[in-house]
Amino acid sequence: MGYSTESKWLTATITFALAALSASTAFSLYFWKRKSRDLDSKIGELEKSLKTSLDNCAAERQGRIRAQQALRKALTQPKLDNVELNSYPMAPIGVIQSCFSTRNGTPRQPVLVPLSRACLIFNTARVPPASLEGLGEYSHCWVIYVFHQNTNLEKLWKDPTKSKFKAKVRVPTLNGERKGLFATRSPHRPSPIGLSVAKVEAVQGHMLLLSGVDLVDGTPVLDVKPYIPYCDSIQGARVPKWLAADSILAVASVSFSEVFTSTLADCWEMAGNNSLYASPDEFKNLIKQVLSWDIRSLAQRNRPHDSFINSENGKQLNDSSDNDHDEEASSPGNEQPPSSSGDIMYHLTLEGLEVSYRLNSDFSVVVEKVKEVSNITHSRQKRCNYSMWRV
């Protein structure tokens, strides 16, 4: 009897335990199913939200693309009655520090003076030094710049639509005969942009050392591109006969007086620290190359005694590189015969030093002396110099 009661009690206990376990399992199953449904719902909402965001981003991107395409179309296909109102975003990427302190004496073309040097200092805020990587592997490069010393720039900037330019300019090699502006390389152009080829001497950080330049000190540079011979050098290219006669501007010889040597030695002690040249002899060779060409303007060549060249402050009143365009034209047949210029002292400023020279009747140049120009020399502090490029 006792055994039977005990057995029933055990059976009831087991049954109750099984029932409790079953109820607990069922509850857990229900809980996890409900939690799973909640998670699925949240995942669905997140996926829907993500899709909406992606769709919005795609729509915005398409809108930007369409706006950019419309802007490019408007810029490249301006209305004919509104051409003057179109402009393009351009700003200098660097500035030239040149051996040519003023326009006077700056070569009319690049490469004519192989020893002429300039240092292009890039604006690191716009041009990171990494942009120059690989440029040193080229022997030459193109420099695109602004003719910033043109006398009519102020008028051009104020109202480009009303700025006028002369359709014809006087050509130095033709003794004043006029040619169409676009048949020449006159700096006075509707858009005062210049293009020069130069030899790449060295690349260092954010600086580029060039030689064979025709760039005046302070020239703003817009762009630099490598010179590629197979597409930049055209075999058999044709030029007018009057341009092939450039040699008529070459002088017979260049010599130096004894006074020049002593005055250069006195100046070099100070000026040499800021110079792109290693020695007085190298600087002397630069002078010889520059003066191997007649750097005078048409007015100076035709009326030398009317050109008041002897100035005490080193500034030329008649500038050879600009006035060929600005001076009033006169018929070549009515020009007065050139006066003797052997008694006239001309001046040329290189590396902040004023070089004085004479041009004799036999077309030979005699360099008389050199002196420091205080206002230019003072501004030449913190400049590139030869020592910065020594290996």
Q: Give the rounded distance of the alpha carbon of 13 from its chain centre.
A: 97
Q: What is the pLDDT of residue 376?
A: 61
> Which helix (DSSP H) or strand (DSSP E) does residue 95 occupy?
strand 94-98
Q: What is the pLDDT of residue 153?
A: 74
Distance CA 353, CA 339 (A): 28
Q: What is the pLDDT of residue 33?
A: 74
CB contact set of 292 (below 8 Å; sequence gap of 6+): 250, 251, 254
Q: What is the pLDDT of residue 188?
A: 86
Distance CA 167, CA 180 (A): 6
DSSP 361: T
Q: Helix or strand or coil: residue 353?
A: strand
Q: What is the pLDDT of residue 211?
A: 96
**Structure token digits, residue 34:** 């409900």
SS (H, E, C) 226-279: ECCHHHHCCCCCCCCHHHHCHHHHECCEEEECHHHHHHHHHHHHHHHHHCCCCC
User: In DSSP terms, which residues pair with 355 in a beta bridge?
Assistant: 348, 370
Give pairs for 155-161: CB < 8 Å, separation 24+: 156/192, 160/84, 161/84, 161/85
C-alpha distances in Å from residue 170, one per residue of 2, 210, 251: 139, 30, 21
Other CB atoms within 10 A of residue 372 CB: 16
- Count H helices, E strands: the chain? 9, 12
Other CB atoms within 10 A of residue 243 CB: 14
Q: What is the pLDDT of residue 361?
A: 87
**Structure token digits, residue 104:** 């006077």
* Closest to 167 measured CA to CA, from 194, 148, 192, 190: 190
Domain ranges of the chain: 30-74, 94-232+241-302+343-388
Its sign, for the CA torsion 144, 145, 151, 152, is positive
Each residue's pLDDT, cut to its tens digit, for the chain (391 residues) gives 555 666 666 676 767 666 666 666 666 676 677 777 778 888 888 888 888 888 888 888 888 888 877 777 766 665 545 555 567 778 999 999 999 999 989 998 899 999 999 999 999 999 999 999 999 999 999 999 999 988 777 766 666 666 677 889 888 778 778 999 999 998 988 888 999 999 999 999 999 999 999 999 999 999 999 999 999 999 999 988 887 655 678 899 999 999 999 999 999 988 888 899 999 999 999 999 999 999 888 777 776 655 444 443 444 444 444 444 333 333 333 333 444 555 789 999 999 999 999 999 888 999 999 999 866 644 555 788 888 776 5
Q: Tell me how many degrees the CA angle 35-38-44 measures, rounded to the nearest 5.
A: 140
In CATH terms, is domain 94-232+241-302+343-388 a member of 3.90.700.10? no
DSSP secondary structure letters along 96-117:
EEESB-SSTT--SSTTSSTT-E
pTM for this entry: 0.70
